[in-house]
Structure 1
Amino acid sequence: MASIELKSVEKWFGEVQVIKGVDLTINEGEFVIFVGPSGCGKSTLLRMIAGLEETSRGQIIIDGRDATAEPPSKRGLAMVFQSYALYPHMSVRDNVGFPLKSAGVPKEEIDAKVAEAARVLKLDPYLDRRPKDLSGGQRQRVAIGRSIVRDPTAFLFDEPLSNLDASLRVEMRYEIAKLHQTLNASMIYVTHDQVEAMTLADRIVVLEFGKIAQVGTPRELYDSPANLFVAQFIGSPKMNILPCSSNGGQYTVAGGRGGPVSGAAVHLGIRPEHIVLGAEGTGQVDGVVDVLEYLGADTFLIFDCGEAGQVTVRINGDTDLKPGDRLGLTFDPDRLHFFSADGLAI
Structure 2
Amino acid sequence: MSSIKLNAVEKWFGEVQVIKGVDLEISEGEFVIFVGPSGCGKSTLLRMIAGLEETSRGQIMIGDRDATAEPPSKRGLAMVFQSYALYPHMSVRENVGFPLKSAGLPKSEVDAKVNEAARVLKLDDYMDRRPKDLSGGQRQRVAIGRSIVRDPTAFLFDEPLSNLDAALRVEMRYEIAKLHQTLKSTMIYVTHDQVEAMTLADRIVVLEFGKIAQVGTPRELYERPANLFVAQFIGSPRMNVVPATALTGVMLPDGAVSVGMRPEHIAIVPAGAGQMDGTVDVLEYLGADTFIILSCGSAGQITVRVNVNSDLVSGDSVGLAVASEMLHAFDADGQAMR
Report if TM-score (shorter chain) is over 0.5: yes
Instruction: Name the counterpart of 1:53.
Output: 53
Instruction: Name the counterpart of 1:95.
Output: 95
Contact 2:251 / 2:324 at 8 angstroms: preserved in 1? no
1:33 is paired with a residue of what secondary structure?
strand
1:207-246 matches, within 5 Å, as 207-244=207-244
1:86 is paired with a residue of what secondary structure?
coil
Q: Cα offset for 1:308?
A: 1.0
1:192-211 matches, within 5 Å, as 192-211=192-211
1:259 is paired with a residue of what secondary structure?
coil
Q: Cα offset for 1:257?
A: 1.3
* Cα offsets for 1:162-181 (capped at 9, x unmatched): 00000000000000000000
Which consecutive residues of structure 2, in runs of 5 or more, have no partner in the other structure?
Answer: none
Q: What is the distance in 2 between the residues matched to 1:64 and 1:234? A: 33
Instruction: Name the counterpart of 1:307.
Output: 298
Please, which of 307, 318, 337 is the counterpart of residue 328 of structure 2? 337
Task: Using the TM superposition, name which of 320-329 and 95-104 deviates more.
Answer: 320-329
1:179-328 matches, within 5 Å, as 179-244=179-244, 253-254=245-246, 256-328=247-319
Q: What is the distance in 2 between the residues matched to 1:332 and 1:235? A: 19
One-letter code of the match for 1:95?
N
Contact 1:9 / 1:19 at 8 angstroms: preserved in 2? yes
Q: What is the distance in 2 between the residues matched to 1:69 and 1:42? A: 20
* Cα offsets for 1:108-134 (capped at 9, x unmatched): 000000000000000000000000000
Q: What is the distance in 1 between the residues matched to 2:199 and 2:279? A: 34
Instruction: Name the counterpart of 1:250.
Output: none
2:70 is paired with a residue of what secondary structure?
coil
Q: What is the distance in 1 between the residues matched to 2:184 and 2:297? A: 51
* TM-score using structure 1 length: 0.97
Aligned-residue identity in percent:
80
Which consecutive residues of structure 1, in runs of 5 or more, have no partner in the other structure?
Answer: 245-252
2:298 is paired with a residue of what secondary structure?
helix
Q: Cα offset for 1:317?
A: 4.5
CA-atom RMSD in angstroms: 0.7
1:213 is paired with a residue of what secondary structure?
strand
1:258 is paired with a residue of what secondary structure?
coil
Q: What is the distance in 2 between the residues matched to 1:54 and 1:66? A: 14
Contact 1:294 / 1:317 at 8 angstroms: preserved in 2? no
* Cα offsets for 1:129-165 (capped at 9, x unmatched): 0000000000000000000000000000000000000
One-letter code of the match for 1:339?
F
Instruction: Name the counterpart of 2:63.
Output: 63
Number of residue pairs the alignment of both structures matches: 337
* TM-score using structure 2 length: 0.99
Instruction: Name the counterpart of 2:160.
Output: 160
